[in-house]
C-alpha cells in the first residue's frame, strides 16, 4: 500500500481533495491510524473544514461494528458469523417473497455511497430481489432541484460549470444555502464577488454566509420563512416590467416566456414586500444587480428546495436565470449546490425509484432494453417504477406495502420527516436490515446489522457537485470481519440465484456502470478507473471518445429542439397554515461541526466537544416573551412530536422563527416536528417550515 494515498473527503459534495498518510512509528497510540492533510485541488485549494480534518478518527473508533449482528429470541443483537447471517437473510427474503410478493421487500439507499455501490444496489434490488421498491435519502436532499433542472434544461447536473468559474463573478445570488458552515472551503471562490460587493444572500437568518455580505461586500435579504417562491416571482416581475431581461436570448433559446410574463404579473413589488417582508427598494436593488450584464450567477440550496413547493421554487429561480440569459452565457450561470458526498452520482445510476443507470427513465422501453442487455436479463424482468422515499416508508402501514427494508448508507430514523412516525413504522416491519459501520439509530432497531467498509478502506468513484467524477482510493485495510457492500450484494445474489454478474472488484463494477450509462443523459461510457487514475479531469457527460463536458449548457440546452423550457409556476397553499399567536415557524439546518443525521460526527470527540448540545436559536424578544433566557431548557412541540433543546438567543434570526439543527437523536431530533407532506413533482418533503410552539421545559 502506498505511503501516501490521494483521495477525497467522506463528507459533502465539495469532495475536498486530501492526502492520507499512515501514522508515524513514534506517534502516540491514541493518534489516528491515518493522518489527514489537505491537497491542492480546484474545489478546495488545499483547505478542509473541521469535519474533513478529523475524518480519519472514525476509522479507529471503538464504536465500529466489526461482526454481523442478528437479533435473537430475547430481542438482543448478538455477534454472528457472516455465512450464518447471510444464509438467514436470504431465507427470510425468500419467505417474504413467497408470502407477500417481491414488492414486499424495500431498499433504502444513500447519497454517500460510491457510484459503484449505488449502481450495484439498484441492480441488486431490481434483478436479485425483483422489487420496484427502491429509493434513497437523496430524495430528501436534491430531488426538487433535480426535477426543476431536468424540466427546464433537459439535464440535471448540480453545477453545470466548474466551481472555479465563480472566481471571476461580479454578482452571485445565493438562495437557501449556508456554505460558510456546510462547505467552508467553497468560500475561496466567493472572495472576488465579495470584494466587488456583489454577493447577495437570501436567508431568513443572518447566517454565517449572510454575514459575509457585511461591510459593503454585498446584500443580505431576509424573507419570511417559506416565501422564497413569492420573492423570486417578484424579482422576475421587476426584470420583465422594467425590460431588463435578455429579449434576444429568450426568443432564440427558450419556450414559455409569454406564460411566465402573465404568471408574474400579479407579483408587483409592493405585494411581494407585504408577503415576504423584503422592502421594495431591496427587491429593485437585487433585480438591477442581476441584470447588470456582468458575470452573474444564481445558486440555490436546500433552504429553498426542501419544501412541498420545492420544485416550483427551484423552477422560479431557473426562470429568472433563463430570462437573464445566464445559463448559456460564458462567465455566468445557474446551479444548485449538491449536499451529500455523492448526491450527484448517487441519483444518476439507479437508486431512485424511477431511474435506471445513466439517468434513464425506467419507463422508457429503449432504456430498459439497453440496461437489460448489459445486465444479461430480459427487459420485461426489470420492474417498473417504485415509490419515492416518503411514500416507500409510509407503505409499511398499507396492506400491499413493504414488509422488509434493507437500508444502505442512511439513517431514516433521524433524517426522515415526521421521524416519530417513521420509527413506529420501522418497528412494525417483519425484517429490517441495515448495512453500516456504526450502530446508528436505525441500525439499533434492525433485525440484522451488517458491518461495512468506510471511505478510506475501499476503492471507488464519487461525483462531486460540479459533475466531476473522482477517484476514492483505499488507504488502509478494514478491520477483520468488515466487508464491502459489493461483496454483500454478490453473496446475497448467489444465495438468491439471481441472474447476471455481481462483481466484487469496484473497477469491474465501474466498467459495467459505464456500459449501462452509454447513451444516457449521465453518460460515463468513456471513463474507467485507469483513466481517472491518470489524473484526467472528468466531467460527465463523458461518452466514449470524448474529453468530457465541464459546461454542458454552453452548447445549448439538452431538449431535442435545443431550447430551454420556461415553466410558469404559481403560489399554492402551504401544508400548514402560517404561524399565528404564540406559534413560531421552525427552520431546520446544519452546523459546521456536524453532518447529516450526525451518526458519524457525533462519534468524533473534537466535533462533539465543540457542539454537543441541541440548541434552539431564537430572537431575544421571542425568548423573553416565553420567559426564556440563554441556556434555559425548552420544549418545542406540535401535533407530531416534542423536542427538548437548550435556548440560544441571537439577533441573527427573525422574531417569528426558531432554528434547530437536525443532527441530534432521541428527544433532540428536529425531524420529530417536521411534516411528511411532499412536493407533487419531486416528492421532496416539507422540511423547512413546520409550525411549533415553544415553552419552558419546567412548565411541562
Contact 122, 134 (CB under 8 A): yes
Q: How far is CA 426 from the centre of its chain?
A: 22
- The pairs formed by 381-384 with CB atoms below 8 angstroms and a separation of 24 or more are 381/127, 381/130, 381/499, 382/126, 382/127, 382/356, 383/102, 383/103, 383/126, 383/130, 383/131, 383/132, 384/132
Q: Are 627 and 696 in contact (CB under 8 A)?
A: yes
Determine contact, residues 461/114, Cβ cutoff 8 Å: yes
CATH pick for 5-60 out of 2.20.25.90, 3.40.1360.10, 2.40.110.10, 1.10.10.60: 2.20.25.90
C-alpha 430/C-alpha 307 separation (Å) is 32
H-helix or E-strand spanning residue 144 = helix 143-153
Which pLDDT score, from 0 to 100, does residue 580 have?
81
CATH architecture of 69-141+344-504: 3-Layer(aba) Sandwich (3.40)
Indicate the helix (H) or strand (E) that contains 262: helix 257-264
* Tens digits of residue pLDDT in 96-114: 999 999 999 999 999 999 9
Q: Are 664 and 629 in contact (CB under 8 A)?
A: no
Predicted local distance difference test score (pLDDT) of residue 223: 96
Of all residues in the chain, what percent are helix, strand and coil, respectively (each to 5)?
Answer: 35, 20, 45
**Residues 493, 124 contacting (CB under 8 angstroms):** yes
Answer for the pair 57, 601: CB distance below 8 angstroms, yes or no: no
For strands 355-356 and 333-336, give the pairing. unpaired
The whole-number pLDDT of residue 258 equals: 97
- Between CA 266 and CA 60 the distance in angstroms is 59
Closest-CA residue to 63 (of 451, 595, 594): 451
Residue ranges in the chain whose pLDDT is less than 70:
1-2, 25-29, 699-700
CA-wise closest residue to 170 among 319, 325, 290: 290
Output the furthest CA–CA distance in the chain (Å, rounded). Answer: 72
In this prediction, residue 1 carries a pLDDT of 45
Spatial separation of the C-alpha atoms in residues 245 and 324, rounded to whole Å: 5
Per-residue CA distances from 358 to 151, 243, 392, 531, 603 (Å): 17, 40, 23, 19, 35
Burial class of residue 236, CB neighbours in 10 A (0-12, 13-18, 19+): buried
Distance CA 660, CA 668 (A): 9
563: burial class by Cβ within 10 Å (0-12, 13-18, 19+)?
Answer: middle
Tell me, what DSSP letter sits at residue 405?
E
**Burial zone of 82 (CB within 10 Å; 0-12 exposed, 13-18 middle, 19+ buried):** middle
Based on the number of CB atoms within 10 Å of its own CB, is 215 exposed (0-12), middle (13-18) or buried (19 or more)?
exposed
Residues present in the chain in total: 700
658 phi, psi to nearest 5 deg: -130, 140
Quick: pLDDT tens for 180-236.
999 999 999 999 999 999 999 999 999 999 999 998 899 999 999 999 999 999 999
Residue 341 contacts residue 10 (beta carbons within 8 Å): yes
- Residues 6 or more apart in contact with residue 243 via CB below 8 angstroms: none
pTM of this structure: 0.95
Q: What is the pLDDT of residue 32?
A: 84
Q: Based on DSSP, count helices (H) and strands (E) in the chain, helices before strands.
A: 23, 29
DSSP at 577: P
Cα 200 to Cα 220: distance, rounded to the nearest angstrom: 6
- The set of cell numbers assigned to 411 is 439513517
Helix (H) or strand (E) holding 530: helix 529-533
Domain boundaries, the chain: 5-60, 69-141+344-504, 143-336, 584-699
Q: What is the CATH number of domain 584-699?
A: 2.40.40.20
Tell me: domain 143-336, CATH 1.10.540.10, correct?
no
Rounded to whole angstroms, the Cα distance separating 88 from 675 reads: 36
Integer Cα distance of 180 and 184 in angstroms: 5
Reference 110, options 371, 501, 434; nearest CA is: 434
Amino acid at each position: 500500500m502506498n505511503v501516501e494515498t490521494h483521495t477525497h473527503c467522506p463528507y459533502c459534495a465539495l469532495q475536498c481533495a486530501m492526502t492520507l498518510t499512515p501514522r508515524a512509528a513514534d506517534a502516540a497510540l491514541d493518534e489516528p491510524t491515518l493522518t489527514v492533510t489537505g491537497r491542492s485541488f480546484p474545489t478546495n485549494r488545499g483547505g478542509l473544514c473541521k469535519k474533513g480534518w478529523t475524518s480519519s478518527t472514525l476509522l479507529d473508533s471503538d464504536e465500529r461494528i466489526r461482526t454481523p449482528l442478528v437479533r435473537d429470541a430475547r430481542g438482543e443483537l448478538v455477534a454472528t458469523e457472516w455465512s450464518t447471517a447471510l444464509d438467514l437473510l436470504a431465507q427470510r427474503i425468500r419467505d417474504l417473497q413467497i408470502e407477500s410478493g417481491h414488492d414486499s421487500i424495500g431498499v433504502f439507499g444513500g447519497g454517500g455511497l460510491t457510484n459503484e455501490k449505488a449502481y450495484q444496489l439498484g441492480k441488486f434490488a431490481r434483478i436479485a430481489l425483483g422489487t420496484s421498491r427502491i429509493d434513497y435519502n437523496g430524495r430528501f436532499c436534491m430531488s426538487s432541484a433535480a426535477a426543476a433542472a431536468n424540466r427546464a434544461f433537459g439535464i440535471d447536473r448540480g453545477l453545470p460549470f466548474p466551481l472555479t468559474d465563480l472566481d471571476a463573478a461580479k454578482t452571485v445570488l445565493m438562495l437557501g444555502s449556508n456554505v460558510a458552515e456546510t462547505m467552508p472551503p467553497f468560500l475561496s471562490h466567493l472572495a472576488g464577488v465579495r470584494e466587488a460587493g456583489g454577493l447577495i444572500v437570501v436567508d431568513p437568518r443572518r447566517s454565517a454566509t449572510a454575514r459575509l455580505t457585511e461591510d459593503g461586500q454585498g446584500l443580505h435579504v431576509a424573507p419570511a420563512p417559506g416565501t422564497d417562491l413569492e420573492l423570486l416571482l417578484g424579482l422576475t416581475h421587476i426584470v420583465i416590467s422594467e425590460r431588463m431581461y435578455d429579449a434576444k436570448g429568450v426568443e432564440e433559446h427558450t419556450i414559455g416566456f409569454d406564460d411566465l410574463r402573465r404568471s408574474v404579473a400579479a407579483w408587483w413589488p409592493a405585494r411581494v414586500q407585504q408577503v415576504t417582508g423584503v422592502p421594495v427598494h431591496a427587491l429593485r436593488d437585487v433585480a438591477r444587480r442581476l441584470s447588470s450584464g456582468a458575470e452573474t450567477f444564481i445558486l440555490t440550496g436546500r433552504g429553498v428546495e426542501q419544501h412541498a413547493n420545492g420544485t416550483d421554487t427551484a423552477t422560479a429561480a431557473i426562470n429568472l436565470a433563463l430570462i437573464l440569459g445566464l445559463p448559456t452565457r460564458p462567465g455566468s450561470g445557474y446551479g444548485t449546490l449538491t449536499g451529500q458526498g455523492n448526491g450527484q452520482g448517487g441519483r444518476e445510476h439507479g437508486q431512485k425509484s424511477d431511474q435506471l443507470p445513466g439517468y434513464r427513465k425506467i419507463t422508457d422501453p429503449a432504456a430498459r432494453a439497453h440496461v437489460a442487455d448489459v445486465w444479461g436479463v430480459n427487459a420485461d424482468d426489470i420492474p417498473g417504477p417504485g415509490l419515492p422515499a416518503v411514500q416507500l416508508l409510509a407503505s409499511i402501514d398499507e396492506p400491499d406495502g413493504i414488509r422488509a427494508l434493507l437500508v444502505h448508507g442512511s439513517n431514516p430514523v433521524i433524517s426522515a420527516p415526521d421521524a416519530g412516525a417513521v420509527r413506529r413504522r420501522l418497528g412494525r416491519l417483519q425484517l429490517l436490515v441495515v448495512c453500516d459501520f456504526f450502530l446508528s439509530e436505525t441500525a439499533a432497531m434492525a433485525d440484522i446489522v451488517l458491518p461495512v467498509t468506510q471511505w478510506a478502506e475501499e476503492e471507488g468513484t464519487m461525483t462531486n457537485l460540479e459533475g466531476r467524477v473522482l477517484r476514492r482510493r483505499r488507504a488502509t485495510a478494514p478491520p477483520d470481519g468488515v466487508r464491502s457492500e459489493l461483496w454483500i450484494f454478490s453473496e446475497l445474489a448467489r444465495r438468491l440465484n439471481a441472474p447476471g454478474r455481481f462483481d466484487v472488484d469496484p473497477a469491474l463494477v465501474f466498467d459495467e456502470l459505464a456500459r449501462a450509462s452509454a447513451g444516457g443523459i449521465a453518460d460515463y461510457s468513456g471513463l474507467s478507473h485507469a483513466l481517472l487514475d491518470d489524473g484526467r479531469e472528468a466531467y460527465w457527460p463523458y461518452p466514449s471518445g470524448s474529453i468530457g463536458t465541464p459546461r454542458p449548457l454552453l452548447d445549448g440546452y439538452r431538449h431535442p429542439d435545443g431550447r430551454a423550457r420556461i415553466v410558469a409556476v404559481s403560489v399554492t397553499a402551504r401544508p400548514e397554515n402560517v404561524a399565528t399567536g404564540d406559534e413560531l415557524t421552525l427552520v431546520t439546518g446544519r452546523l459546521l461541526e456536524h453532518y447529516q443525521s450526525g451518526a458519524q460526527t457525533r462519534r468524533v470527540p473534537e466535533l462533539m466537544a465543540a457542539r454537543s448540545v441541541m440548541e434552539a436559536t431564537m430572537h431575544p424578544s421571542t425568548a423573553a416573551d416565553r420567559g426564556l433566557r440563554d441556556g434555559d431548557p425548552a420544549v418545542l412541540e406540535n401535533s407530531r412530536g416534542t423536542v427538548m433543546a437548550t435556548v440560544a438567543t441571537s439577533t441573527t434570526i427573525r422574531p417569528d422563527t426558531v432554528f434547530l439543527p437536525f443532527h441530534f437523536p432521541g428527544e433532540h431530533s428536529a425531524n420529530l416536528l417536521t411534516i411528511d407532506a411532499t412536493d407533487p413533482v419531486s416528492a421532496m418533503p416539507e422540511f423547512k417550515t413546520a409550525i411549533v410552539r415553544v415553552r419552558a421545559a419546567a412548565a411541562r
